[in-house]
Amino acid sequence: MSEPTPSMQVPNRVIPVPTSVSPAAQSILALGPIDQGEWPALDDTEGWLAFRASSEQLIAAALAGQLMGNDQVEDLDIDGVRIYAITPESPVADDNRVYLYFHGGGLVTGGGDCCRDFGRMTAAHTGLKVWAVDYRMPPESPYPAALDDCMVAYRALLDSYPADRILVGGASAGGNLAAALSLRARDEGLPLPAATVLLTPELDLTESGDSFQTNLGIDMVLTRSLMPANQLYAAGHDLSDPYLSPLFGDFDKGFPPTFLCTGTRDLFLSNTVRMHRILRAAGIEADLNVFEAMPHGGFMIPTPEDEDMKAEVNRFIQVHCPQP
C-alpha cells in the first residue's frame, strides 16, 4: 500500500485581471480560459486527425493577422523532410547565420501553413534566415519521427554553416524538439549549435512540474493536461527519456547557451525554471525571463510584453551568435 500523497486544499477563488500588465494584455486575460473540449481517445486515429485539422485551421486564422513582411519562402525537400527556408524582408547584410526553427502545437498539431507562418514570424522578429521544419507527427508518425526530421535538417545545415552560426529554437513543443535535438546531436558526435532559444518549452512529457497543478485553471491557453497528446507522441516510449523529456537529460556533457522564457500564469512555468536551474548547475550559460501574468505562449495579440520578449530574444542572439 502506498501512502496517500500529502496535498493542500486551495479553496475556490475569483482572480481579477491584474492591472500590472498592459491594457492590451489585460483585454486578453479578461477573456478567461479558452474552452478546448476533450482530447480524442488514444486509439481514435480519425479523432486525432480531425483535431489536428481543426486546430491548424484555428492557428492559421490567428496567425493571418500577424505582420510577416515581404519575405521570401522556399519549399525544400531534404530526404523527404519538408522545410520552409525563409528570407526576411530586411535581412542583415552578409548575415551568415541561420535559425533552425521548430513549431509548437503539443507535438500533435501546428504543421503545414501554421509551421510556415510561425517560421515567417520568427524571421520577421529576428531578421534572420529561418529554416522551419514541418516535422512528421502522430498519429501517423509518432516518436522518433519528429526528432529524426529535425536531425535531418540540422545535419543539412551543417553542410553549409559552421555550427556556431546556427541557432536552434522554438516555442512549446518546438522548445522540446530544440532541446532534444541539441542533446541528440551531442550524443551523435555532432557539433553543438551556437545557442538554443526555448520559449515556454514543453520539456517534461511526464508533467511532473508543480505549475502543472498550481497554474491549472490560471493559464487561459493551456487549460488541461497534455498527457493524451504526450502519450500519442511517445507511442509506448518512456516519457522520461531525455529525447522525449529533455529536462531529464545529462547536461554535464555539454549543451548550448540557452535563452528561456515563460510567464507567471504559464502551465509550463515549472518546465522553464527547472531547466534554467539544471543548466546553471551544469555550468551552462542560461538566461531566464519570466513575464508578468503571461499565459502559455504569450498574449496572442501584439502587446508591449510580447515586443519586450522578442527584443530580449534578439539581445540574447546578438550576445551568443553575433553577426561579425
Binding site for a second copy (CB under 8 A): 5-21, 29-30, 32-33, 208-211, 213-218, 220, 264-265, 269-270, 273-274, 276-277, 280-281, 288-293, 308, 312
Answer for the pair 22, 305: CB distance below 8 angstroms, yes or no: yes
Q: Is 225 a catalytic residue?
A: no
Answer for the pair 293, 168: CB distance below 8 angstroms, yes or no: no
Q: Residues 103, 172, 245, 320: which is the catalytic one?
A: 172
Q: Is 44 a catalytic residue?
A: no
Mention every residue, 6+ apart, whose C-beta is less than 8 A from residue 85.
73, 74, 75, 76, 129, 130, 131
CB of 312 to a second copy, least distance (A): 7
Q: Which residue has the cell 496567425?
A: 63
Alpha helices by DSSP H, listed for 265-303, are 269-281
Instruction: Report the 3 state secondary structure along 215-234.
Output: CCCCCCCCCCCCHHHHHHHH
CA-derived radius of gyration, the chain = 19
- What's the distance, Cα to Cα, between the start and end of the chain in Å? 62
Answer for the pair 246, 213: CB distance below 8 angstroms, yes or no: no
CB of 213 to a second copy, least distance (A): 5
Q: Residues 71, 149, 266, 306: which is the catalytic one?
A: 266
Cα–Cα distance between 308 and 317 in angstroms, integer?
A: 14
Would you say 6 or 236 has its CB closer to a second copy? 6
Would you say 6 or 80 has its CB closer to a second copy? 6
Would you say 25 or 133 has its CB closer to a second copy? 25
Would you say 105 or 295 has its CB closer to a second copy? 295
Whole-angstrom CA distances from 42 to 110, 134, 139, 227, 235 are 19, 23, 9, 10, 10
Q: Which residue has the cell 550524443?
A: 187
Would you say 100 or 278 has its CB closer to a second copy? 278
CB of 308 to a second copy, least distance (A): 7
Would you say 50 or 281 has its CB closer to a second copy? 281
Answer for the pair 141, 171: CB distance below 8 angstroms, yes or no: no
CB of 65 to a second copy, least distance (A): 23
92 sits in which H/E element: none
A 10 A CB-CB count for 60 gives 15
CB of 188 to a second copy, least distance (A): 29
**CA-closest candidate to residue 176, choices 268, 250, 99:** 268
CB of 239 to a second copy, least distance (A): 14
Q: Is 238 a catalytic residue?
A: no
Known catalytic residues are: 172, 266, 296
